Amino acid sequence: MDWFGRARINFTHSKSPVALKKKDGSVTDLLEVVQKATPPCQLNPLLFNGHLQTMWTAVKDEGPPIYYRRRIFDANHKTYNGTFAVDFAVNQHEDVDEKLPPRTACFSEEEFSQVASDDSRPMLIVLHGLSGGSYEEYLRHAIAPLVLNDGGWEVCVVNARGCANSEVTSGVLFNARATWDVRQIVSWAKETFPNRPLFAMGFSLGANILTNYVGEEGANCPLKAAISVGNPFDLEASNKALTRSTLGHHIYQRVMGTNMKKLIAKHKDAVLKYTNLDYDQIQQITRLHEFDREVQTVTWGYPTETAYYRDASSSDAVLAIKIPFFILAAEDDPIAVQEAIPYQEIRLNPYTVLCASSLGGHLSWFEIGGGRWHARPICNFLNYMASEIDLDSIKPMVNGKEANTELKTHFDPVRRKLQILTDLE
């Protein structure tokens, strides 16, 4: 039972979590690292359930002052073409660009030409949630200890196409299985910063995308570790849970649907130019699943929105993960619902550990005074992995033995429609 905002914390993991060699030669494992990184969860007792926690996000708080420089990348995939924006956390600056989110300005060509480095600072690549961006308060709370006051990290945020005041320059819009942009940035970062250990973190829809990416890469994933926060995992189950709930149907679905409708309206000219979407029909929708019916099914060729949900879900991809993967969730999350969490898959994979708090809502975890608890286990985990673990010693394991990365299992959890389209090029 939870008393005065003190949440219970439950860990789900393999019977034999992957062993991790420390820099001092001793050995630990992923479960022990996650447990050490996770402090007690004391939340605001006035926000005593997931709905109150989630709805409190509507109360505007300035949050940590993270400053960014933006770079527009040309997609290097011939099918998934267009551009996307990446915001890099930088030192405080006075530049103002009214077309961009607060504290964000573009790199000059000269500035960006000097970005490459042979330093060994750890680097974190972040994916935000549905219709959000680098400016989101939950995201800034999570990265603030890593970058402010020389926290020792380099951080960049990959904005979904059209989000965070970025332009839409092709008919390729966001998709819950849209792994191509993060794949390009990870590859770019590996080449541009050859000595930096790379990590990644995703929130909500971004967590679903990141989980799919890490699963698709498998044992060849360039990341040293990754974090999934508030992941809906099974999008069909999450949609059904929202639809049957009064608050889910009349509030959450409406709010998310309205946000996506506004996003399309903001890019009306580009939508009309590059896509065959029915703009007027999109402006008539009221709920998220209706938006997915009008946009995702038309854009990607899915027969129904539920087919899209099944295809884009990341629950099966959990089985293919071969790097340390920390999953953070709240059991009372009304959007990324508990019933969508793939507990069995997590227990089968020694590379995955789930930390689930009994309270917290959706990307909320509000503490007394306005702090966000999720920042604590996230930063503790990342700092421990970067400073204490011999990252080069981590090898893909199967049943306690080093995996043969050339072998393919009969069940391939990431061969889905969008992946097959890539193969057919």
Rounded mean pLDDT, 308-333:
97
In the block, residue with structure tokens 């967590």: 207
Topology (CATH level 3) of domain 6-234+313-400:
Rossmann fold (3.40.50)
Q: Indicate the pTM of the whole model.
A: 0.94
Backbone phi, psi, residue 113, to 5°: -65, -15
**Cα separations (Å) of 276 from 42, 171, 397?**
49, 8, 46
- Beta strand 123-127 with 154-158: parallel, antiparallel or unpaired? parallel
Which of the residues 166, 204, 238, 313 is marked catalytic? 204
58 has pLDDT over 60: yes
405 has pLDDT over 70: no
Least confident of 49-63, 85-99, 229-243, 258-272: 49-63
Q: Comparing C-alpha atoms, which of 187, 129, 193, 112 is closest to residue 163?
A: 129
- Beta strand 41-42 with 6-7: parallel, antiparallel or unpaired? antiparallel
pLDDT at residue number 114:
96
Q: Is 333 designated active site? A: yes
- Render pLDDT for 202-246 as a digit per residue (tens, 0 to 9): 999 999 999 999 999 999 999 999 999 999 999 999 999 999 999
- Render pLDDT for 362-385 as a digit per residue (tens, 0 to 9): 999 999 988 999 999 999 999 999
pLDDT at residue number 421:
54
- Render pLDDT for 302-320 as a digit per residue (tens, 0 to 9): 999 999 999 999 999 999 9
pLDDT at residue number 173:
85
From-to residues of CATH 3.40.50.1820 in the chain:
6-234+313-400
CB under 8 Å, gap of 24 or more: what pairs does 261-267 form?
A: 261/285, 261/291, 263/131, 263/162, 263/163, 264/295, 266/162, 267/162, 267/167, 267/168
400 has pLDDT over 60: no
Question: H helices within 105-179, ranges in order?
Answer: 109-113, 137-147
177 has pLDDT over 90: no
287 has pLDDT over 70: yes
pLDDT at residue number 411:
64
- 412 confidence band (pLDDT: 50, 70, 90): confident
- Beta strand 325-330 with 225-229: parallel, antiparallel or unpaired? parallel
CA–CA dist 137, 117 (Å, integer): 29
Rounded mean pLDDT, 158-180:
93
pLDDT at residue number 78:
83
CA–CA dist 148, 64 (Å, integer): 9
- Render pLDDT for 104-147 as a digit per residue (tens, 0 to 9): 999 999 999 999 999 999 999 999 999 999 999 999 999 999 99
Which of the residues 311, 313, 333, 364 is marked catalytic? 333
Over the range 336-360, which residues count as b (16 or more CB within 10 Å of their CB) and which as e?
bbbebbbeebbeebbbbbbbbbbbb
Say if CB 381 and CB 39 are below 8 A apart.
no
Which of the residues 13, 51, 267, 362 is marked catalytic? 362
Report the percentage of the chain scoring pLDDT > 70. 93
pLDDT at residue number 369:
87
Q: Is 13 designated active site? A: no
CA–CA dist 88, 101 (Å, integer): 13
